Structure 1
Amino acid sequence: MSGIAEVQARIADIESRIAAFNGTRASTALQATATTSATSASSVSSATQFADVLAGGTVTRGTRTVNAAWGATGAAGASGTTGEQLLAVAKKHTGVPYVWGGTTPAGFDCSGLIQYAGKQIGISLPRTAAQQAKVGTEVPSLAQAKPGDLVVLEGGSHIGIYVGDGKMLHAPKTGDVVKISKVWETPMTIRRLGTTAATTAAAGLAAAALVTGTTGAAATDSTAYVRPASLTTSKSAPYDAAFTAAEGRYGLPTGLLSAVAKQESGYDPDAMSPAGAIGLMQFMPGTARDVGIDPRDPMQAIDGAGKLLASHLKTFGSLEKALAAYNAGPGNVRKYGGIPPFNETQNYVKKIMANLGSAA
């Protein structure tokens, strides 16, 4: 089978799946093109165009225009850029309660809303705000943002979808609901999902690399996807900016939060201890609730750890005791008048102090 025919076969398969999902049957004519390379005049003729289909663009097949995320135009009535489609779907869930860790219409957290909306338009986005803050392409400022762009706030711990006029759609916090609010601070980053094959295919692969650690070939004729150097040279690299920001925010020594993350989870945002501690900074669920963060979201976890360590440092007056309180609880530090006589806690404090400033 030629390269063109192979691409056509893959597209026809996708269209068949979409048609089945919508309760309709793909046309015989479209299925026929999957095995015939002769109908190239009005068909998809390159892997780049095929990537446009996957990425959210449109291509013309005979007399039909196929939309990446929705199948045939008219079947679902979708139009616009990938970001605009994402916004349109997310808006349908206005009023849904915020639920910590929520990823369904029963309840959403900020990144869960965006990931869910992405699934509905056929794009796969990573789970956390920190990971979503790396997809797509950078938009220089809010003045240049367009509806559908992802707006990342609070040092990377919160994300929403820009709706225009300085406002964003988001799932704010516990006790609130999905709603439109003013963008209340200068965003850490603004990301555009894009509609071109190269932009969106690369964004999708970058997101996959963040989650799975894999690499692959971008869906273009000759461009290979190269995993970002920041993801290959240091496990801490995706979080370094957030570590630095939180240390500055809470007056902590440089390198402390990275050293804690290295000791706690080895920089694994999905880590789960036998005792039930969760995420990059290994929060117990009760402590996470007290601090008001989602421990599965690395940006929230980093900020929460900074806040907690700063509180312990203020209470106990030394970094070693603050670390001991983070590991064994402040009650044990008070009980023993210092670092508790637990091997785990004593080794924990020694290793972090040794790694301080050199965690990687």
Structure 2
Amino acid sequence: MSVSDVTARIAQIQAQLVQLGDTGGATTTASTGTGTTSASEFASALDSSLAAVGGSTDSSFDGAGATAAAGGASTGGSAVVAEARKYLGLPYVWGGESITKGVDCSGLVQSVYKTLGYDLPRLSADQARSGRKVESMAQAQPGDLIAWNNSSRNSGADHIAIYIGDGKMIEAPRTGLKVRIVDVPSTPDYIRRVLPDSGVASASRVSGAAPARVAAGTPYANLFSSAAAKYDLPATLLSAVAKQESGYNPRAVSPAGAQGLMQLMPGTAKGLGVTNSFDPAQAVDGAARMLRDLTRRFGSTELALAAYNAGPGAVLKYNGVPPYPETQRYVRNVMSMMKAAS
């Protein structure tokens, strides 16, 4: 029997055990003679046992083809699935986002992705607009988000889950039930991919990727290169944003109150931990972290730039670059400067 066959069978057993756990806390007796073990504990033990002999319970689920990074850590869809499985057996808690106390459907999604460095919105309706659209379940990959609009009272998705492959998903279903693996019950209304596609080294390079170094003589070139290496961004992106925002002027202040080289609003700067937006080093570091997070959230450099200019809410509202002339011009200008530097 192949490793993929073994892992598929383990996934089936895990789902059955979780279902047992959902129907009254049934336990299974371990052969070690140490007493009873909960369904989620036994499922976790299966994961550990297979890993100990060189396998991975998620290897058959990584549709993106990512297998291991330095040190053997899993990446891509397999990492999302592995993280989501840690929540199996937890109770559904409305508004919950705790790996120890319980989660609701969007709390599960947000918590899993946050652990992997992706900043998703809290509400299922907003999560179902994050990343990129996947056209059908035939194209869905492990780690994709699948969501449904089950109520005419709501605008957008009101239930969301994480696809794990083989027609199955992990969800926090409803009050009285626990986080579980189930078959995808129907065609989702939304299928979204937050992760970079196969062959893309990092989400920050989904589109518009540029050389890591800026041209000699560029103002603050060392700061851009350092932040680019730290946050896995093209240095030319940071340089182009600085040129577009302030003309490389670290003392610039906009009519709206944006400050410094990267034109951070005071509230934004505070949230990024930037105590002085007029300090070029702090400004570049804060802006780079913000652009990294926006690129991971929306899946492309263009959408990250649109969110940097107009705010994430505008990108979510229009499901793309907002139809604001200023924002569209901003995105075109920055992308053109990056292209010219390549």
Question: Which of structures 1 and 2 has the bigger CA Rg?
Answer: 1
User: Does TM, scored on the shorter chain, surpass 0.5?
Assistant: no
Q: TM-score range by the shorter chain?
A: 0.3 to 0.5
Q: TM-score, normalised by structure 2?
A: 0.39
